[in-house]
Amino acid sequence: MRELAIQSANATNSNSDKDSLDKEFGELAKEIQRVLGGTSFNGKHILGSDAGTQTFQVGANTSTDDSISITTTKMTTDSSITTVAGTDNTGAGRAKIDSTASASTIATVIASQAVITGAYSLTRQAIQLGLLPRFEIRHTSEAHSGQIYIPRINMLLLVAVMLLVLMFRSSSALASAYGISVTGTMVVTGMMGFVVVWRVWKWSPFAAAALIAPFLFLDLTFLAANLLKVLEGGWVPLALGAVVMLLMYTWRRGSRLLFDKSRKLEFPLAELVAMLEKRPPQRVPGTAVFLTSDPVSAPTALMHSLKHYKVLHEKNVILTIETASTPRIDPAERVRLEQVGATFTKVTLRFGFMESPNVPKALAIARKLGWQFDIMSTSFFLSRRALKPAAHSGMPRWQDHLFIALSRTANDATDYFQIPSGRVVEVGTQVTI
């Protein structure tokens, strides 16, 4: 460009030389635009001020020239040779950036709802299947039982998102982890589809395999391709899945061991009532309510109360609480009574999934059924298990401690059922697993 300018000053350049100079001049304008647009600090353009006008002679005399005018809004070239739009540093540019950021934020919120609701639903199903301890579940809709909110899972999601942001720092770096998680889900879905077709639809294994195999082959192909990126971040979903599987397996196995050991200590309620009627212990005034999830067996709190105190209340209630599949239960259907002895009564309370279980208020409804209930003369007996790892529990020692930690995350029954803390007697039992 310098040589062409010298030739122009000496009036020795041809028309093709002028065209070449014009072309170089246009490239210079584009480069200036790139520098102005790409040089920024802390989100602000630092080369956005007026830079005046630069004039270049491209003809045989000074009247034949081109110029670049650098301003805050655009760059132009005179003589109708090249016109290049510059970086917009005005309010219109900021508005464009703000609108893009707003749209991205809205899209993120919409996409995150699938993750949040999916995590809530999977956690609830895992609890119902006995794969996780009982967490607090809040229902947010009377029309749909599936609209729930689980505070602890919400907090775990927050921690997980923050860790992912700190680890990957950009969405492009997350691509490997995302690919393995998606293709892994596709493979698991195909495998579960085979089980459904075979076990639920009652197809033969060969017919089920013939239906699922083509889809599973494609899914496995995608998964195999993504496994090459395990070390680039793909290990994250694999590690997360392994941790969740370990927690579920530990809770399931520990619960089974605990159930087997507790079963050995339980006694049929009907036989216990018959024995107490033949040889009644010392009676104390008032009503005792024993909470249990198994109304057929004698509650642990009742057995330990008889063992240590050698007394029995005048009236004893074996209380079981059920959750219905409807949002609310009519008060007339709230309470069911069953007399199992002169001093023993089975009471079943039913609550809708939208209702907060309130045991004292529900028991007051039983007065209409002829059962006398006075909260001031009633004591609620709950059993609280203190789990200790055994020398030979059937699980490794570290897994025993993990199960004990999971059991401590379960909701407190006193708060959950809104029982007055001043009327509660907790009978602790030590159980080794």
Tens-digit pLDDT profile for residues 143-188: 777 788 999 999 999 999 999 999 998 888 888 899 999 999 999 9
Tell me the pTM. Answer: 0.66
As a whole number of angstroms, the distance between CA 397 and CA 401 comes to 6
390-418: pLDDT as tens digits:
777 788 889 999 999 999 888 888 888 88
In the structure, how many helices (H) and strands (E) does the chain have? 12, 14
pLDDT at position 183: 95
List, for residues 89-131, the tens digit of each pLDDT value: 445 555 555 677 788 788 888 888 888 999 998 898 888 788 8
Give the DSSP H or E segment for 195: helix 175-195
Are 382 and 413 within 8 A, CB to CB? Answer: yes
**Structural domain boundaries of the chain?**
2-87, 90-169, 265-432
Residue 10 has pLDDT above 60, yes or no: no
What is the rounded CA–CA span in Å between residue 347 and residue 369? 12
* 132 CB-side CA count, 13 A: 20
Nearest Cα neighbor of 93 from 171, 40, 169 is: 40
The confidence band for 208, taking pLDDT boundaries of 50, 70 and 90, is: very high
Q: Which amino acid is at 314?
A: E
List CB contacts of 269: < 8 A, sequence separation 6 or more.
295, 296, 297, 298, 318, 340, 344
Ranges of H-type helices in 196-232: 205-226
The answer to whether residue 343 scores a pLDDT higher than 80 is yes
Q: Tokens in use for 10? A: 């000496």
Between residues 66 and 349, the one the model is more confident about:
349
CB contact at 8 A, 137 and 145? no
DSSP state of 423: G
Distance (Å, whole) CA 123 – CA 132? 8
Q: What is the pLDDT of residues 64-96, one digit of tens each?
A: 555 555 444 443 434 333 334 444 444 555 555
Q: What are phi and psi of 383, to 5 degrees?
A: -100, 135
The DSSP code for 268 is B
Q: Which residue would you say has higher pLDDT here, 87 or 230?
A: 230
DSSP tag of 197 = I
Over the stretch 374-387, which tens digit does the pLDDT of each residue have? 888 899 999 888 88
